[in-house]
Structure 1
Amino acid sequence: MSDGSKDQRRYEVAKRRAQALELRISGMSYRAIADAMQCADSTAYELVQSALREIPAQNVEILRTEHDAMIRMLFSKLMPRIDKGEPRAIEVGVKLLERLAKLWGLDAPTRKVLEVITESVIDEAIAALEAELRADDQD
């Protein structure tokens, strides 16, 4: 690949990242971004995340603060309906609070326990079953 085509490819990728970030900032979900950009949801997410990694930290804080203000404004407008006990308002309110917690990194990381099954573990299980079958045959 020539340097010109490498530069063109980098430009196209940067352009897609910027477009995805712009759509996300406008309030679109990752699914809507994926639909608009004709890509997978995971690709839309990665494009936005890549674009965010390229933004200096100060700009990310500005963006985070703007999103915080937007979420808080939406929550305050929803509060009278929450106070009345409207189930849908409560549901949306919880989602806004979850988004706010995620925005500021307030939630503890989720831990997952992974069980790795190797070939040797499978071989041991097969040997144990074979031994059990032989013992049953001898009875």
Structure 2
Amino acid sequence: MQDDIAFFGHPNVQSLHARTVEITKEEHLTLRGDCIIGVNAEKACADIDEKIKRKLARSDSHVKIEIIVGNDVYTISGAGDERLTLQNKHDIVIRKTNFVCPRTLSVRCDKASSDIPRGMVKALQDPGTKGIFRVTVE
């Protein structure tokens, strides 16, 4: 099962956080949001398709996140977890750790925002750049 979530760049995208990646439906981004790679996302955790939510809420599920910007694709692997509630109405966060909150979509990911190639980050600093946050759950 797959869901494509469109988002846009912002001048304050830094992508420096060592444990998380986030997209948000919010329009504004301060420099404190150093894990955020995109704003104006069309979905948050609460908006994810119910069938995908059920799969994400299983500890044996494999999650693949593809961040697509232009012709560039960056792939992150993670896992589902039975503790996921996927109720947040503003954000989606994927984590290297096992920490779970209503914003968490995936845990035990193999990469974080600080790992994203700097060329992709530079592109995401342009508000006109559209990205896709593709979530595939197996």
Structure 2-normalised TM-score?
A: 0.22
- Larger fraction in strand: 2
Structure 1-normalised TM-score?
A: 0.22
Q: Which structure has the larger Rg?
A: 1
